[in-house]
Amino acid sequence: MSVLIFIDHSEGHVKKTSLEALSYGAKIAEQLGTTAEGILLGTLSQDFDLTALGKYGVKKIYQASQESLNHLDAQLFAKIVSEAVGSTGATVVIFSNNLSGKAVAPRVAARLKAGLVAGAVALPDTTSNGFVVKKNVFSGKAYANIGLSSPIKIISLNSNSYPVKAGEGSAEIVSLSVPADAPKVKVVSTTQASGQVPLTEAELVVSGGRGLKGPENWGMIEELAKLLGAATACSRPVADAHWRPHNEHVGQTGIAIAPNLYIAIGISGAIQHLAGVNRSKVIVVINKDPEAPFFKAADYGIVGDAFEVVPKMIEAVKKLKG
């Protein structure tokens, strides 16, 4: 009986969502009176000290350090993780509910006949001998408390739902042997914006809509985002018009995010857009139309012209940051 946490990485570094998953898994282990361990498939950059992840509460990290595993193959990954669950005797497995987690966790669940809660937002309730996990449902409009009845339980944790908690400690690295299965999926090419905070992991997001009138006006959005250390996003019409790349599109048909701060500029707030951002902790709306539906979902707002308001916001942030 232990808690096994899947550690996701890209560009040689462990992702922030995995630090959340480690902190979350360690807390569950504490709740259950057991230990937390990690599993990492692939290699990290030379300067990344894997043992230091012990400070998030894991005692051991199982690593399969083949470079070929730096490309996620869901079928092979599921097999490796499932075998590790068997050999370590883990009864709870934690993934991040990100793109990697969505590819691998369901496969592991089916392979182990383990109940899966995808999109958890809180620690499980393990009192009264049950195991109940709260998750988002109805595209952020409600929560469901899901009871798991299987001996092995799998949880995919939503990003920005559990704080990273660092303490003291060092993890022992245990080498993991992997099956020599040839991947059935051949990766032909990848394109990835490097060095940027992925939108799903960003704590602060500045987003622009049709109200900005054209791609040439995104300079102020980017400047405000840069000053705040925020990622940039956009609404569907903006992505459809190719003013901004599709991977910035948040909303029902784009990606769903839950940052600490979401600043929507020139976005009216259609229900499909809200479905992708309504889990944000603080929502700020800048719109010249006082009737924009977004104001109903906002915490703070300014009814005004973005072209006048945003430059003043930039000045204020500059002043604040000195």
Partner 1 sequence: MKILVCISKTPDTTAKIAFTQNNTKFAAEGVQWIINPYDEWYALVRAIELKEKDPSTVLHLITVAAADTEPIIRKALALGGDEAIRVNADSHDSFYIASQIAEVARQGAYDLIFTGKETIDYNGSSIGGMVAELLDLPYISLATKFDLNGTVATVVREIEGGEETDEVSLPVVVSCQKGVAEQRIPNMKGIMGARTKPLKAVEPAAVEPLTSVVSFELPPAKAGVKLVPADNPAELIRLLHEEAKAF
- Retrieve residue 269's tokens: 């707030």
Residues 143 and 8: their CA atoms lie apart, in Å, by 26
Binding track, positions 105-124, relative to partner 1; x by CB under 8 A: xxxxxxx-xxxxxxx-----
The verdict on 202 binding partner 1 (CB under 8 A) reads no
Write out the binding residues for partner 1, residues 293-322 only, by CB under 8 A: 295-305, 308-310, 312-313, 315-317, 319-320
- Reduced to 3 states (helix: H, G, I; strand: E, B; else coil), residue 283 is strand
> Under 8 Å CB-to-CB from 56, ≥6 apart: which residues?
19, 22, 23, 26, 164, 165, 166, 167, 169
How many angstroms separate the most distant Cα atoms in the chain?
61
Q: Of 50 and 264, which CB lies nearer to partner 1 in the complex structure?
A: 264
User: 26 or 120: whose CB is closer to partner 1?
Assistant: 120
Q: Distance between CA atoms of 180 and 164, rounded to whole angstroms?
A: 35
Nearer Cβ to partner 1 (139/170): 139
Closest distance to partner 1 from the beta carbon of 34 (Å): 21
CB nearer to partner 1: give 151 or 167.
151
Q: Of the candidates 293, 248, 237, which has an alpha carbon nearest to the alpha carbon of residue 269?
A: 293
Torsions phi, psi for 61 (to 5 deg): -125, 125
Question: Residue 262: which of 196, 321, 197, 203 has the closest Cα?
Answer: 203
Examine residue 85 and tell whether it contacts partner 1 (CB under 8 A).
no
Contact between 193 and partner 1 per CB under 8 A = yes
Residues 16-55 that bind partner 1 (CB under 8 A): none
Please say which residue, 39 or 228, places its beta carbon nearer to partner 1.
228
Q: Decide: is 211 part of the binding site for partner 1 (CB under 8 A).
A: no
Min separation Cβ 175 and partner 1, Å: 26
Instruction: Tell me the C-alpha distance between 131 and 203, whole Å.
Output: 29
Interface with partner 1, residue 180, by CB under 8 A: no
CB of 187 to partner 1, least distance (A): 6
The token duo for 75 is 């079928």
Among 84, 212, 261, 265, binds partner 1 (CB under 8 A): 261
- Helix axes 99-112 and 74-88, enclosed angle (nearest 10): 60
Cα(262)–Cα(233) distance, integer angstroms: 9
CB of 261 vs partner 1, minimal distance in Å = 4
- Work out whether 145 is an interface residue with partner 1 (CB under 8 A): yes
At its nearest, how many Å lie between partner 1 and the CB of residue 137? 6
Query: By C-beta, is 123 or 204 nearer to partner 1?
Result: 204
Give the range of 39-47, 94-102, 171-179, 215-223 binding partner 1 by CB under 8 A: 94-102
Minimum distance, C-beta of residue 142 to partner 1, in the bound complex (Å): 5
Measure Cα distances from 220 to 167, 174, 244, 268 in Å: 39, 48, 14, 19
Q: What element of type H or E holds 274? A: helix 271-277
The footprint of partner 1 on residues 217-246 (CB under 8 A) is 228-229, 246
Smallest gap from Cβ 133 to partner 1, in A, equals: 9
Which stretch in 35-43, 44-52, 74-82, 174-182 sits in contact with partner 1 by CB under 8 A?
A: 74-82
- 136 binding partner 1? (CB under 8 A): yes
The CA distance from 16 to 198, in Å, is 10
